Amino acid sequence: MPTDYLPVLFQILIAIGFAAATLTLSVVFGRSAKTNKTKDSAYECGMLPIGDGAPRFSVKFYLVAMLFVIFDIEVVFMYPWAVQFRDLVSQSPTALVSMAGFAGILVFAYVYALKKGALNWKS
């Protein structure tokens, strides 16, 4: 059984050896670059970096984005169920009941988000 893993061990050793050899050769044969203020500054598409690097966004943006992702993923779960709806219901009505429960939880979560003001931009 351990002989079955021998090719994997060789592959790992070759990968580690290649990485170590490449880094060692880079240090040995590579030239050290001279540093100055211009080369050490951040590159901003040809513009001089002035001010903060990134603009500040409201927390509401991230909250709405996360709610969108959550509800979008739920639609991804509903789509295959909708495609197979006839076959599922003909076999057993529990598929309809389980999806109704799932949709009920989504409606409850949406109403909760509305009541908390998660989608209100002015607050």
Burial class, 78, CB count within 10 angstroms (exposed 0-12 / middle 13-18 / buried 19+): middle
Q: Please tell me the pTM assigned to this model.
A: 0.49
pLDDT band with cut points at 50, 70 and 90 for residue 85: confident
Residues 71, 110 contacting (CB under 8 angstroms): yes
Q: Is the pLDDT of residue 91 over 80?
A: yes
pLDDT at res. 8:
94
Mean pLDDT of 67-81: 87
CB atoms within 10 A of CB 102: 14
What count of Cα atoms within 13 Å lies in the side-chain half-sphere of residue 27?
A: 5
The pLDDT of residue 104: 92
Question: Where does the pLDDT of residue 19 fall: very low under 50, low under 70, confident under 90, or very high at 90 and above?
Answer: very high
Per-residue confidence (pLDDT) for residue 23, from 0 to 100: 95
Rounded distance between C-alpha atoms, residue 121 and residue 108, angstroms: 21
